[in-house]
Amino acid sequence: MKKPKPSRLFLMSALCMVTYPAISTAMPGLVTEASVGAGYDSNIFHTPNKTYFDYFSGGVPTQKLQSGLFLPLDISIALNKEKKNPGAIFVDYNLGGDFYTDIAHKNANNWGQELGAGKFVSLAKPGENKRQLEARFFVHQESKLYIDPDSGDKKLSSKGEDVSEKYSYLSLGAESVLDMELNKQWDVDIGADIERFDFKTPVRGSEYDHTYFGAFADLSFTPMRRTKLKASMDFYSKFYDFREARDLTGSTVGKRPLLKYSYTDISLSWRQRFHKKLVTYLDYDFSQRRDLDVGYNDRTAQGVGVRALLDLTPALSTKFKVSYSKNEYPRALAFDTPASGLKKTYSRVYLNWSLDYEISKDMILEAVVKYYDTNTNDTRYDYERNVISVGVVKDW
């Protein structure tokens, strides 16, 4: 599929904003949200904090920390979806991305779009608690380059082949969710999904093509008016078409089995409203990945986070989030080679603060500050990054 240029994406979004009022009059079930703005990125290519020895090139890479401006864009359009009316057939479309203003940073441009369609079906009889099934089919396109974090150039294989399209893909999928309201305190969602990914990399051995299967369950409990507890469990698997599993030395040399992963994710959240103007969340996440060959890429991840939403005035509100996560790898090696002499370690601190000002009932001015601090002994991925952006969010 041919990629639209970033300038055309912004032209398309502007055209949607101009023509939407006339379209919405003819289609009353249509709901749209658009967000455009400008931002600053302190470490565009995630360049490592310090110099390191690259075991693959056999030398110390020359690093160039690059910063600059970017334009974030998000558009979502939905027809007959917001009210979730039983029997309604809906269509939705989402487009989002970041586009850097300096041509020298074009390799960092990234965007994705998704078009979906589905139907809501009520399984409850009149007078019974809500039991509604949502079934949806979708097509998704993602454009993101695999780049060298030291230079910002397109990534090459050990043979000098261009593998920069490694993360760009087109996928087709289907998902279904059963929403059940057991009573005024308990709510359960059960779902399943399948997705087929077709990545663009033409170089054999670098393909990420795979099939994804998943199932999940969400349980919400409201013991008191101001308190809500939520637990989520996800089980999913990825089966790769060409990517080979690593042996216990981190190597894929020779004939190796195809890579297969299975995942178990658990999330717990406690929502507490202390005041009509203040809501807080306490989050815990657990994730386990199993490499179904010899277990080289087995990984256990845990994370904790705190979120807060505060209304400062009727028109001004702020949000804050801080989280810490840590991954444990019982077998994986730093740089995926025994030469490093190190078992891989990884942790991350993430901060997000935003300030929203309500210009009108359907328009918000938003300022966002993000901070990333990734720490790992695989120093190719050890970096810090600050992102600051200001934008306008418009609803129709």
- pLDDT tens digits for 186-241? 999 999 999 999 998 767 767 899 999 999 999 999 999 999 999 999 999 999 99
What pLDDT score does 318 carry? Answer: 97
Which residues, other chains included, contact 246 with Cβ-Cβ below 8 Å and sequence gap of 6+? 252, 256, 291, 293, 296, 297, 336
**Shortest CA distance to 191 belongs to which of 125, 139, 116, 134?**
134
Residue 18 has pLDDT above 80, yes or no: no
Cα-atom radius of gyration of the chain, to the nearest Å? 23
Q: Which residues pair with 370 in a beta bridge?
A: 352, 387
Residue 6 has pLDDT above 70, yes or no: no
| CATH number of the structural domain 6-395 | 2.40.160.40
What pLDDT score does 25 carry? Answer: 46
Are the beta carbons of 271 and 283 closer than 8 angstroms? no
What pLDDT score does 81 carry? Answer: 80
Residue 1 has pLDDT above 80, yes or no: no
What pLDDT score does 254 carry? Answer: 83
What pLDDT score does 163 carry? Answer: 87
CB atoms within 10 A of CB 288: 15
Are the beta carbons of 305 and 289 closer than 8 angstroms? no
Residue 301 has pLDDT above 70, yes or no: yes
The CA-CA-CA angle for residues 228, 230, 236, to 5°, reads 165
What pLDDT score does 17 carry? Answer: 53
User: If you average pLDDT over residues 290-308, what whole number do you get?
Assistant: 97
Spatial distance between the Cα atoms of 245 and 336, rounded to a whole number of angstroms: 12
Write the pLDDT tens digit of every residue in 321-360.
999 999 999 999 999 999 988 999 999 999 999 999 999 9
Least confident of 148-157, 277-286, 288-297, 302-311: 148-157
What pLDDT score does 169 carry? Answer: 96
DSSP 3-state of 213 = strand
Average pLDDT, the chain: 91
What pLDDT score does 9 carry? Answer: 57
Are the beta carbons of 120 and 86 closer than 8 angstroms? yes
Residue 78 has pLDDT above 50, yes or no: yes
